[in-house]
Amino acid sequence: MPVLAIKLAYRNLVGAGLRTWLNVSVLSFAFVVIIFHNGLIDGWNQQARRDTIAWEYGFGHLLNKAYDPYDPFSLQDGHGILQTKMRQRLIPVLIQQGTLYPGGRMVPVLLKGIETDQEILKLPTKLFLKTDADIPALIGKRMARALKLKKGDRVLLRWRDKNATFDAANITIIGIFNNNVPTVDNGQIWIPIEKLWEMTGLSGHATLFIATNDYVHVPIPGWHFKDHDTLLAVLDNMIAMKKVGGSIIYFLLLALALLAIFDTQVLSVFRRQREIGTYIALGMTRLQVVALFSMEGAMNSLLATLVGSLYGIPLLFYFAKIGIGMPATADDMGISIAERIFPVYGAGLILGTIALVVISATIVSFLPAKKIAKMDPADALKGKIQ
Amino acid sequence: MKIISVENVVKCFPVGDGKFTALDHISLDFFTGEFAGLVGPSGSGKTTLLNIIGSLDKPSKGKAQVAGKDIEALTHKQAAQLRNHSIGFIFQVFNLLPVYTVFENVEFALLLQKKPWHERKKAVMDALEWVGLENMADKKISKLSGGESQRVAIARAMVKRPRIMLADEPSANLDAKNTHSIMETMKTLNQEFKTTFLFSTHDEKVMQYLDRIIHLEDGKVVKDEIITSRKEDF
Ligand SMILES: Nc1ncnc2c1ncn2[C@@H]1O[C@H](COP(=O)(O)OP(=O)(O)OP(=O)(O)O)[C@@H](O)[C@H]1O
Ligand SMILES: [Mg+2]
């Protein structure tokens, strides 16, 4: 029977013409949009993870226990000297507060001291080796834009040393790095860690260490380690929220398509009474007719899969190849976001979407068709059921 | 051989608070090869009786035995089997499946019987030949005239070689020429395959062909007349 039902359902559906193709178009559109949207978010997530690891997280962070990344006041005491065999496999970063005076303005900044010969982060710290500026500094493109600073500019910086005594000097912007990670850019000034030690008198101190790939963590008193996954969990959560937000649109689209199928089904169960009676007169059981009508509705989703892949596959591949340009305002979200995001479509996403569409289309087709089981075939043949 | 036996059948329909008796203690027997018809005014119960014999409906009271099966005791599935194998239906409004071709319409019952393709093809082409439409197999139903449509319906009902054909006012939508033509076709099939035909009709032209005419009035048999002497077959 299933083979027969599929065959008959296909004949009926294609025979029904325009209405079928209308339903199929809307459904296939919902399909492609769902896959595209999720693919975009997944692509963004992957890019954000990649970039954040490359620019900020490395292979994990070892943080001074007194330092809380969400509390700038903890910077004052949240640092120390680390004694461990693993020290060679850790890149120290010392973070201090300071104030910058670009063009007469007063801007609070984070001074981040980092080793000049590190290779774990993409920050172009090698540039420090090629300069003879007294206090060389690197800033990101957002910071440069916000403060209208260019390479070669000298700006007055004020900071406090370990005895809380104010000090001031000019720093020289020796480079502006392009990046997708606002959290290493906004409000930050990167300088060689030896220089910062000298400026603050905190020689050998670090607020946190960035782990290299062969770092193996053993508990160290006064410090705690956050691995990749812990660090990325925050990012994952934020992106998951974006996913839910965007889903509303495509669930509406899907609901619209399902409503159209439901409507078609209700109408056909009503309009095709004589046909239903004829099927029964020809020897179909009512359940076979219910199955046939449900199959017709469900087949909308199979046709939609087919039609959707006809235009969807080239379209989705095209976008996966050239990427989607992100508006500049997207940069303010505090999550890494590239100028172009390349959607990725996983097998899970595609199969999951097909399953979602097929199952929901089958359900909305079955509900009206269930009525057929209660029909009196003699009345159906007269076409007089209300 | 007795193929249809109706015994004291009563059929009531609920109307408003009460009920309406459409068939009132009907008893009739039909034998293999009969070419019989139910006649009577509108509302006399012809369609209702055909539906019960066709296992599309069940009697409220009484017994109906069709091709060896007790209609009132059949499950949905058994009734479907009976219709699929033993009963062919012809309707006033043809009731062809509009999205199918002529061939596909005729093929339908055989698909349900799960007959293999080569058997189906041969049976369908034979049936189309009986009704003179062998050249129209691939036509769409919407392109057919009324006479052609009713011929397709006859082929569809006959293709499975049923023991019983039930035809409810088959000529009501046809002109005189087409009526005579389909009646002749059915008469030929009746004689060739010994298929029992039971009609319901108002149409004098149809009655001309019948061997037995049963008059119904208000759900009762008022007259049961044998027209020609085909008694040797019964
Ligand atoms: N499902 C039903 N519910 C209520 N009454 C019904 C139903 N089916 C038939 N009837 C009634 O039963 C009576 C017999 O109907 P039936 O259709 O058998 O008549 P008929 O002899 O075929 O008439 P016609 O020549 O007009 O086709 C009619 O009065 C009809 O209104
Ligand atoms: Mg009638």
SS3 B36: strand
- pLDDT for A15 equals 75
Q: Are residues A34 and A172 in the same domain?
A: no
In this predicted structure, the answer to whether residue A167 has a pLDDT above a threshold of 90 is yes
For chain B, the average pLDDT equals: 93
* Test the B interface: residue of A282, A289, A376 with most B CBs within 10 Å: A282
Q: Is the CB of B65 under 6 A from ligand 1?
A: no
- pLDDT for A385 equals 65
The residue-averaged pLDDT of A33-37 equals: 88
Among A193, A226, A259, where does a domain finish? A226
- φ, ψ for residue A88, nearest 5 deg: -60, -25
- pLDDT for B58 equals 94
Distance A249 CA to ligand 2 centre (A): 53
Closest chain B C-alpha to A377 CA, distance in angstroms: 6
Chain A residues inside the 8 Å CB shell of B104? 11
Q: Is the CB of B117 under 6 A from ligand 1?
A: no
Q: Are residues A90 and A181 in the same domain?
A: yes
SS3 A166: strand
Q: For chain B, state the CA radius of gyration.
A: 17
CA torsion sign for B57, B58, B63, B66 is: positive
Q: Is the CB of B43 under 6 A from ligand 1?
A: yes
Among A226, A259, A289, where does a domain finish? A226
Among A226, A246, A262, where does a domain finish? A226
The answer to whether residue A220 neighbours chain B at the CB level (below 8 Å) is no
Number of cross-chain residue pairs from A and B with Cβ atoms under 8 Å apart: 67
CATH superfamily of B2-233: P-loop containing nucleotide triphosphate hydrolases (3.40.50.300)
Note the pLDDT tens digit of each residue in A303-321. Answer: 889 999 999 899 988 988 8
Q: Are residues A151 and A238 in the same domain?
A: no
User: The tokens of B73 are what?
Assistant: 């005791």
Of A4, A16, A280, the CB nearest to B56: A280
Q: Is the CB of B142 under 6 A from ligand 1?
A: no
* Test the A interface: residue of B83, B102, B161 with most A CBs within 10 Å: B83
Q: Nearest residue on chain B to A5, judged by CA atoms? A: B112
Q: Are residues A75 and A144 in the same domain?
A: yes
Q: Is the CB of B13 under 6 A from ligand 1?
A: yes
Read off the pLDDT band of A234 (50, 70, 90): confident
Q: Are residues A78 and A193 in the same domain?
A: yes
Q: Are residues A368 and A257 in the same domain?
A: yes
The answer to whether residue A252 neighbours chain B at the CB level (below 8 Å) is no
- pLDDT for B177 equals 95
Q: Is the CB of B15 under 6 A from ligand 1?
A: yes
Q: Are residues A201 and A84 in the same domain?
A: yes
Closest chain A C-alpha to B178 CA, distance in angstroms: 23
User: The tokens of A372 are what?
Assistant: 């057929």
Pairing state between β A324-325 and A107-114: unpaired
Q: Nearest residue on chain B to A381, judged by CA atoms? A: B95
Of B51, B83, B95, the CB nearest to A283: B83
The answer to whether residue A375 neighbours chain B at the CB level (below 8 Å) is no
DSSP secondary structure, B206-221, as one string: HHTT-SEEEEEETTEE
The preferred substitution site among B11, B42, B169, B214 for testing ligand 1, maximizing ligand atoms within 8 Å of CB, is B42
Q: Are residues A11 and A121 in the same domain?
A: no
Q: Is the CB of B179 under 6 A from ligand 1?
A: no
CA–CA separation, A324 and A343 (whole Å): 8
Q: Are residues A323 and A284 in the same domain?
A: yes
Burial of B44 (0-12, 13-18, 19+ CB in 10 A): buried
Ligand 1 atom 31 nearest Cα = B43
Q: Are residues A357 and A246 in the same domain?
A: yes
Q: Are residues A202 and A242 in the same domain?
A: no
Domain that holds residue A42: 2-53+234-382
| Global pTM exceeds 0.90 | no
User: The tokens of A134 are what?
Assistant: 């007294």
* Test the B interface: residue of A285, A289, A379 with most B CBs within 10 Å: A285
Q: Are residues A205 and A74 in the same domain?
A: yes
In this predicted structure, the answer to whether residue A2 has a pLDDT above a threshold of 70 is no
The answer to whether residue A291 neighbours chain B at the CB level (below 8 Å) is no
Structural domains counted in chain A: 2
CA–CA separation, A219 and A225 (whole Å): 8
The pLDDT profile of chain B, 234 residues, written as one tens digit per residue, is: 899 999 999 999 999 889 999 999 999 999 999 999 999 999 999 999 999 999 999 999 999 999 999 999 999 999 999 999 999 999 999 999 888 899 999 999 999 999 999 999 999 999 999 999 999 999 999 899 999 999 999 999 999 999 999 999 999 999 999 999 999 999 999 999 999 999 999 999 999 999 999 999 999 999 999 986 544 444
